[in-house]
Amino acid sequence: MNATLNGWLTSQIDKLKEQSLYKEQLVLEGPCNNRITIAGRPGIINLASNNYLGLANHPKLVAAACEAAGKWGAGAGAVRPITGTLQIHVDLEKQLAAFKHTEASLVFQSGFTSNAGVIPTITDENDVILTDELNHASIIDGVRLSKAQRKIYKHCDLSSLEEGLKASAAAAKRLIITDGVFSMDGDIAPLPDMVKLAKAYDAAVMVDDAHGSGVMGGGRGTAYHFGVHEDVDIQLGTLSKAVGVMGGYIAGSRALIDWLTQRARPFLFSTAQPAPVVAAIMAAIELMEKDTSLTDKLWENAAFWKSGLKGLGFDTGVSETPITPVMIGDEATAMKFQRALLNEGVLALAIVYPTVAAGKARIRTMPSAMHSREDLVDALGAFKRAAESVGLF
């Protein structure tokens, strides 16, 4: 390797370690379940997963994937515009559009590539994008790929958003982009009021519902939860969190989806999802449509978990959803707390700069439908002991 490049990389890694920002990669020695095995140690309570409903290991999804592999093979063999579009892809997109109550949908390889596909494809240099300051990294990168002017408004601040709308009156098009559920704090965007502003100023609205998919609105997302899904122009959903598999999608008008099939670069130049993945997703959506018990269990567990943490004296921030941060502040203390928790048999990861602002470090916990009450009671005990061991209490 080039010595100059290697030296620079090594120095950057050393700096991360000195600043308590270096994160070790964890390796699971089995499925992503309520209790997992790491480094030969079984029974660790998993509070770090986005597998909200436990569908990643659901027998119906596993069976659907196996059956599809036998019928369609292991891979699609090409990008979608060539010969990569299988009938099962078309069936999934129809299913998702019906589930989201939109005219059409288009599936991408991930939520990240969904943002990279849609944002620069529907905006140009004559437009303005108004984006929340705490939007996900994939939105930030999608906006950077666009030639449109960017205006960042204060987090969920309607006055700040309106100021940006007034200042961008000369734009050809204006696009407001927000997360539905914010992934680090667990709060929810005020979509009804945002939609009213958008209508008043002739702006389009896009909601990235990665953490609302399968969680809010009976699984249909944040826009459906608020009853404004018909007023949101673009909905992004994930297939790799609550749905339990892999991928992302855009749901909206037929014209939007037709345009994306012609110009969205991640769609045009990435091999299509394998049929086993698609079949597992379809099984998950069918489960969510027919049975709300997993979503109900998720929210029941989340309420118990938040109450338990607050009862111990922890600060869970502004969370309104199962995403439950335990606010720490100092990066080094957060990393130390993460290690103490693992020693106590709980996996919950420290979130530090640059994922969150400097001095805003936290332990991000994710109760799910997988967890039993015993799991959560044991985890609360571990949090108390770990906090005492690092001097938080």
183, 213, 240, 319: which is the annotated catalytic residue?
183
Joined together, the tokens standing for residue 282 give 């379809």
Residue 351 to residue 327: CA distance in whole angstroms: 10
Active site (annotated) includes residue 155: no
Active site (annotated) includes residue 58: no
CB atoms within 10 A of CB 268: 16
How many helices, marked H, and strands, marked E, lie in the chain?
14, 13
Per DSSP bridges, beta strands 248-252 and 104-108 are: antiparallel
211, 225, 336, 371: which is the annotated catalytic residue?
211
Residue 79 to residue 99: CA distance in whole angstroms: 25
Residue 236: name the closest of 155, 175, 325 by CA.
175
Residue 245 to residue 211: CA distance in whole angstroms: 14
Joined together, the tokens standing for residue 144 give 């950077």
Residue 108 to residue 211: CA distance in whole angstroms: 17
58, 100, 225, 241: which is the annotated catalytic residue?
241
Q: Where are the alpha helices (DSSP H) in 227-369?
A: 254-263, 265-269, 275-290, 293-312, 331-343
Residue 40 to residue 20: CA distance in whole angstroms: 26
Q: Is 243 within 8 Å of 280 (Cβ atoms)? A: no
What DSSP element (H or E) covers 171? none
Beta bridge partners of 132: 153
Active site (annotated) includes residue 372: no
Residues identified as active-site: 183, 211, 241
